[in-house]
Amino acid sequence: MNKLALRDLTVRGKRVLTRVDFNVPLDKNNRVSDDTRIKAALPTMKYVIDNGGKLVLMSHLGRPDGKVVETLRLNPVVKKIEELTGKPVRKVNDCIGIDIEKVVSKMKDGEIVLLENLRFYPEEEANDDGFARKLAYLGDFYVNDAFGCSHRAHASIVGITKYFPKSASGLLLEKEIEYLAKIMASPEHPFVAILGGAKVSDKITVIDNLLNKVDCLLIGGAMAYTFLKAQGKNTGKSKVEADKLEIANNIMAKAKEKKVEILLPIDHLVADKVEQKARIRVEKDAISDDWCGVDIGPKTIRLFADKIADAKSILWNGPLGVFEMDKFAEGTHAIALAISKTKAVSVVGGGDSAAAVAKFGLFDKMTHVSTGGGASLELMEGKELPGIAALSNK
């Protein structure tokens, strides 16, 4: 990546306006229930503070749709930042305006200010030029460390960069690009990709791109049932995209033409309903009419794990079953465990895959776990992300 990076900037005495992705889940008491994204931005935050910069953080939270929503203020994030950095954080109640400019102008080296939710303004998602300019008043340098938002052309991601002579990637963004771009551009072989999740339609472009790069593609999750249905197999009450059967067949034909091995589940954990109290059983190949697939079966786990064991590069995006329910989590857990035991470079796409790795306590066993679901998918599709394209070149 030939983009300017945080380490290329001399931050001492400078206001470093940093876009982070602190769109974190909150519990019923309005406390942060998962601080993964805040922890991921810690290297950038510490770098600015430790090198005498003035750290001005900006983020969105939830979907307030351009209005002030009291429950979506960034106040719950403050305590987590303080815990992780060991520094006090001054939280302000807006993200633009004279009052905020005054607060930021009085900052001392090493101090932290957190701006209010950017999406309280509709201009943020509209990439409004005036809003971007007002945000830019708050910094001497602009740093983007919000990989999870970098596929969005928003004011704090794209529009703002034109008002800075130097716009750089944060340490997290740099790491995301390094691992995701590298595995897509120059992977070691054998290269195995594992795709799961609900819909084939969400991953068509990803699969098309991967077929030019991988040696083997393992498909699980609900999307596998569409492929199995396309082959004429009974899938019971499992989720199937009936309008995507022809696409599934075309993908299989293209894989054969390119000599890419595609493996689908050969047995299934099925349930009479998708509930923790459901009756379950293992079925081979076809699924009975009144049952639905909720996870890959034990033979499929062994089949997939064998392929993973031989890989030198692994890319995983999407769970292999309804892993949120412990009763249906064994397949996803087993595959995560198999990846963790290899010496391969393992890159896990964001979203549900990252949540699964965290749930099973295997986060640190992967080479890289992405913080961006949609952004990582677009990189896998071979797209250029607007938030990265907008940064200064070295």
Residue 199: what pLDDT?
Answer: 82
In which residue are the tokens 């800075």 written? 164
Residue 1: what pLDDT?
Answer: 63
DSSP state of 100: H
Higher-confidence residue: 373 or 347? 347
Residue 277 has pLDDT above 70, yes or no: yes
Average pLDDT on 293-319 reads 97
Looking at 29-43, 135-149, 290-304, which range is the least confident one? 29-43
Active-site amino acid positions: 37, 199, 351, 374
Per-residue pLDDT band for 34 (boundaries 50, 70, 90) equals confident
Please write the tens of the pLDDT for every residue from 320-370. 999 999 999 999 999 999 999 999 999 998 788 988 998 999 999 999 999
State the DSSP string of 133-189: HHHHTT-SEEEE--GGGTTS--TTTTGGGGG-S-EEE-HHHHHHHHHHHHHHHS--S
pTM beyond 0.75: yes
In which residue are the tokens 């795709």 written? 195
Please give the Cα distance from 391 to 118 (Å, whole number).
20
Per-residue pLDDT band for 261 (boundaries 50, 70, 90) equals very high
The answer to whether 27 and 76 have CB atoms below 8 angstroms apart is: no
Angle between helices 330-340 and 298-309 (to 10 degrees): 20
Average pLDDT on 49-78 reads 97
Residue 294: what pLDDT?
Answer: 96
Tokens of 329: 């989590």
| Residues pairing with 313 in the sheet | 191, 345
In which residue are the tokens 């939270």 written? 61
- Share the mean pLDDT of the chain: 95
Please give the Cα distance from 46 to 2 (Å, whole number).
23
Please write the tens of the pLDDT for every residue from 243-256. 999 999 999 999 99
Half-sphere exposure of 182 (CA within 13 A, CB side): 14
Average pLDDT on 284-295 reads 94
Cis peptide upstream of residue 165 (ω within 30 degrees of 0): no
> What's the angle, vertex CA 370, arms to CA 59 and CA 132, rounded to 5?
25
Alpha helices in the chain (DSSP H): 36-40, 42-50, 75-85, 98-105, 122-125, 129-136, 171-185, 204-210, 223-230, 245-257, 298-309, 330-340, 352-359, 373-380, 386-389
Residue 181 has pLDDT above 90, yes or no: no
Residue 385: what pLDDT?
Answer: 94
Which of 57-61, 199-203, 276-280 is modeled with the greatest confidence? Answer: 57-61
Domains of the chain: 6-171 (3.40.50.1260), 179-380 (3.40.50.1260)
The answer to whether 380 and 151 have CB atoms below 8 angstroms apart is: no
Tokens of 371: 């913080």
